[in-house]
Structure 1
Amino acid sequence: MQSIGHTPVARDVRLWALSLGNFAIGTGVMVVSGLLPPMSADLGLSYAALGQTITAFAVAVAFGAPLLAGPTSRLDRRLVLQIALAVFVAGNALCALSVSYETLLLGRVVAGLGAALFTPHASVAASLLTTPQTRGRAMSLVFLGFTASTVLGVPIGTVAGDLLGWRATFWAIAGLACIALFAVRVLLPHDLRAPSIDTRSWFAVFSNRTMTTLLLVTVAQSAGQFVLLSYIAPALKASIGASSFVLGTMFAIYGALGVIGNIVAGAIIDTRGAAFVMNMMIATVGAGLALFPLSGLGLAATVAVMALWGFGSFALNSAQQARLVGRSAALASATLPLNSSAIYVGQAIGAGVGGLLLSSGWLGVLGPCGAVLLVVAFALSVASERFTG
């Protein structure tokens, strides 16, 4: 194991390189939600149709993460991470060049495959570069890039898409991923390997009630959030008449509280445990979604709701990864890709459900409908702690 030894987690540049990659991917995942208006005007497509590009990305990750996990588990993680970012760059470049809905969908699928490869391997790499005592903080730092993308990447991309065109945003994401690729190549050690995945690993995961229940928790919480998050632009436009600048500001508030929540979670995980943090953050996100209709009361109410939602949104993903590794570090090469897959299965379900509600004229109930799925996630999370295997 390549351990960080006595180097403080926050000063380990290798972990920051992984975090930068997640920053690029997080921006790519979520920016479409803020680009719906200019993309709709340029391509002549409805919000619901464009929302399905989020579904396409999610499906690519959902299937790609477990399918690619086995063949790549035997390889040097440094090499795998570079390949993943190169594929992600290609997908975003294709999106920027697309002139049809089909090409845009293809670009999102290619980008999704890159994300499917990068995010779980980045988490595995973080676990290899750390000690058990600091693993929670290290994994939270790596996932912090994903969280920070909502503070900077998505808001800037949303405003830039309105001012410079949505294609410029996709080019910028591709450029950012190139920088992350270079950082990974230069900073990560060679021959960074974890136990490879074989048939017994998959069987060990799926025959374990705790592991399968935890993966269902991930699906439910992700689906609940993306019922609303996929269509946050039209939702905020309807409730407060949000311009691109206001929308970008709301993303920044959501993301800023996400960063704070992620930092808090990283500290608490190593003292109170990942399960405690996970349940706390699920409840926080569920409350934010349930209260989203209050955004119609004005800007102050919208800020409060977005802040509450954001505080728990990304912290629960960090807690879940630490929870899975804590249950079985030997199975991390299988459980972390499956958890990434579960996140995006949830995104696909959430975007699909949200699209149906939007098409049916039920825009105002997206938040409460998402909250119902968070209640399901909470119940499953609590139940998983009672299982012994």
Structure 2
Amino acid sequence: MTSSSPPRQERLRVLLLACVQFTHLMDFMIIMPLGPEFIRLFSLSTAQFGALVSAYTLASAAMGVLGVFWVDRFDRKRTLLVIYAGFIAATLACGAAQSHLWLLAARTLAGACAGLMSAVIMAIVADVVPPERRGRAIGTVLSTLGLSAVAGVPLGLGLASVLGWRMPFWVICGLAAIAWLGLARLLPALDQHLTAAPGKRQENPLAALVSPQLVLGWALTFSVVFSSFLLIPYLSAYMVGNVGLTQTDLPWVYLAGGAATLFTARKMGQLADRHGAARVLAWLLIGTVGPHLVFTHLPPSPLPVVMGVFVVFMALTSTRAIPAIALISAKVPPALRGRFMAVNMAASDAASGLSAWVSGLMLATAPGGALIGFGAAGWLAVAVTTLSLSILWAFTRSAVRAPQGTEPRQSLT
């Protein structure tokens, strides 16, 4: 059930979906650098601000699970338009917030919409882009993470410093409204999955998702994200406390890392199309072992050395999701894609939150600010990455029994 749209239309639709993903990533990321302003303005404790950040991902994970019961029962275009409208309303409420509780409620609603939005976007990409070009399309959509780091967050902070903290939310709402109109005008009806399995509409929506093969897909996503987020939340504290950088060095380091992610995301998508998503994911999993160990054991070093190691770390680690999603989406039949990707995104959100918590239990802070135990966290990340390779091997050899429309499986060999 893959659309035969001309390449130009296909590229335009993929870019439009990338714009949607960009607005939601900007909305997620902008809250963290605005933390000092929120703490001062609303008299928040550190724990209250942490809840403000985590409310987004927790709501996203919860809605991903709830989406199983309805996300595949409607036209994907209409589903995305409704969810995106809710996201725009929630972001508007963030910009209008007058209290901590108001902002917390708005962030929760935005996260709930964003989690399902990402799942529907990936399901649409899998529906409208043929397997031989799907890796590149997913790379385009996920490259928005690097773009938001390179351009979005600095511009948002600039707007906040000049026009106040509310302005970044207004701008995100404006961009999202334009993207919503583009979706409504340019995206075709996407309801072929509703007829892919006649007579199955009233089945238990969970029944088709409990096969061992599909569970392996979730386990693969969970392990890949878990190993990454054991380290990512604490990179800045480690660079300042252990490696010898200053706070003023960090923007340049993250700018370089974001630029590397932006560049490599599309390249990894192209490699996945050329060599197979399973093989490229295996290469990336093996290739991240070195950077994870080097970075987590890095002694005090000059800025260019730290920046070089960080660029390699981010370019490889942050692009592992591209072949993973391309591989998993190809294994899932069209009639199951929406609900499967909803739970898959929930698995990703849960992995990021749980792994950050596990790392926090392993780490301690010395009186001078250095992190104690980060090297052990690096070894744990390598161990989980090795587990990911085993799950990948099992997943590529599984055969998903599901309604008509399953695409050919990919193998590591």
Q: TM-score range by the shorter chain?
A: 0.7 to 0.9
What's the CA shift for 1:232? 5.1
Structure 2 partner of 1:148 = 147
| 1:7 has 2:7 as partner | yes
What's the CA shift for 1:207? 2.2
Whole-angstrom CA distance in 1 between matches of 2:330 and 2:363: 40
Deviations 1:337-357 (A, max 9, x none): 122111111222134345556
Match of 2:188, SS state, is coil
The answer on whether the counterparts of 1:148 and 1:255 sit within 8 Å (CA) in structure 2 is yes
The answer on whether the counterparts of 1:87 and 1:114 sit within 8 Å (CA) in structure 2 is yes
Structure 1 partner of 2:275 = 272
Structure 1 partner of 2:333 = 329
Whole-angstrom CA distance in 2 between matches of 1:381 and 1:79: 37
The answer on whether the counterparts of 1:34 and 1:232 sit within 8 Å (CA) in structure 2 is no
Q: List aligned pairs for 1:109-188, cutoff 5 A.
A: 109-162=108-161, 164-188=163-187
| 1:385 has 2:364 as partner | no
Q: List aligned pairs for 1:182-261, cutoff 5 A.
A: 182-195=181-194, 199=203, 202-208=206-212, 210-230=213-233, 234-238=237-241, 239-243=244-248, 246-261=249-264
Match of 1:85, SS state, is helix
Whole-angstrom CA distance in 2 between matches of 1:158 and 1:365: 32
Note closer, same or farther for the CA distance 1:193–1:131 as it changes in structure 2 (3 Å cut): same
AA aligned to 1:3 is: S
The answer on whether the counterparts of 1:26 and 1:146 sit within 8 Å (CA) in structure 2 is yes
What's the CA shift for 1:272? 2.1
The answer on whether the counterparts of 1:217 and 1:378 sit within 8 Å (CA) in structure 2 is no
Whole-angstrom CA distance in 2 between matches of 1:162 and 1:353: 35
The answer on whether the counterparts of 1:25 and 1:146 sit within 8 Å (CA) in structure 2 is no
Match of 1:385, SS state, is helix
Note closer, same or farther for the CA distance 1:118–1:370 as it changes in structure 2 (3 Å cut): farther
Per mean C-alpha deviation after superposition, the further-off stretch among 233-242 and 254-263 is 233-242
Q: List aligned pairs for 1:303-382, cutoff 5 A.
A: 303-330=307-334, 331-353=336-358, 363=371, 365=373, 369=377, 372-382=380-390
What's the CA shift for 1:283? 4.0
Deviations 1:200-228 (A, max 9, x none): 663343221x4323322322332343344
AA aligned to 1:342 is: A
Structure with higher helix content: 1
Note closer, same or farther for the CA distance 1:318–1:56 as it changes in structure 2 (3 Å cut): same
The answer on whether the counterparts of 2:364 and 2:373 sit within 8 Å (CA) in structure 1 is no
What's the CA shift for 1:275? 1.8
Note closer, same or farther for the CA distance 1:327–1:19 as it changes in structure 2 (3 Å cut): same
Note closer, same or farther for the CA distance 1:371–1:179 as it changes in structure 2 (3 Å cut): farther
Superposition RMSD on alpha carbons, in Å? 3.1
What's the CA shift for 1:301? 2.6
Note closer, same or farther for the CA distance 1:228–1:311 as it changes in structure 2 (3 Å cut): same
Whole-angstrom CA distance in 2 between matches of 1:27 and 1:295: 33
The answer on whether the counterparts of 1:34 and 1:248 sit within 8 Å (CA) in structure 2 is no
Per mean C-alpha deviation after superposition, the further-off stretch among 99-108 and 193-202 is 193-202
Provide TM-score, normalisation by structure 1: 0.85
AA aligned to 2:383 is: V
Match of 1:240, SS state, is coil
Structure 1 partner of 2:404 = none
Note closer, same or farther for the CA distance 1:226–1:380 as it changes in structure 2 (3 Å cut): closer
Runs of 4+ in 1 over 6 A off after TM superposition: none
Note closer, same or farther for the CA distance 1:151–1:373 as it changes in structure 2 (3 Å cut): same
Note closer, same or farther for the CA distance 1:63–1:295 as it changes in structure 2 (3 Å cut): farther
Match of 2:166, SS state, is helix
The answer on whether the counterparts of 1:21 and 1:177 sit within 8 Å (CA) in structure 2 is yes
The answer on whether the counterparts of 1:51 and 1:351 sit within 8 Å (CA) in structure 2 is no
Q: Structure 1 vs Structure 2: percent identity of aligned residues?
A: 24
AA aligned to 1:240 is: L
Q: Any gaps of 5 or more consecutive residues in structure 1? A: none
What's the CA shift for 1:199? 4.8
Note closer, same or farther for the CA distance 1:251–1:310 as it changes in structure 2 (3 Å cut): same
Whole-angstrom CA distance in 1 between matches of 2:219 and 2:348: 9
Whole-angstrom CA distance in 2 between matches of 1:264 and 1:371: 28
Query: Which protein shows a greater Rg?
Result: 2
What's the CA shift for 1:299? 1.8
Match of 1:315, SS state, is coil
The answer on whether the counterparts of 2:265 and 2:319 sit within 8 Å (CA) in structure 1 is yes
The answer on whether the counterparts of 1:250 and 1:306 sit within 8 Å (CA) in structure 2 is yes
What's the CA shift for 1:135? 2.1
Match of 2:125, SS state, is helix
Provide TM-score, normalisation by structure 2: 0.81
Note closer, same or farther for the CA distance 1:36–1:220 as it changes in structure 2 (3 Å cut): farther
Whole-angstrom CA distance in 2 between matches of 1:20 and 1:222: 23
What's the CA shift for 1:37? 3.6
Equivalent residue for 1:298, pick from 295, 299, 302: 302
The answer on whether the counterparts of 2:223 and 2:388 sit within 8 Å (CA) in structure 1 is no
Note closer, same or farther for the CA distance 1:123–1:257 as it changes in structure 2 (3 Å cut): same
Q: Any gaps of 5 or more consecutive residues in structure 2? A: 400-413
Whole-angstrom CA distance in 2 between matches of 1:49 and 1:312: 33
Structure 2 partner of 1:85 = 84
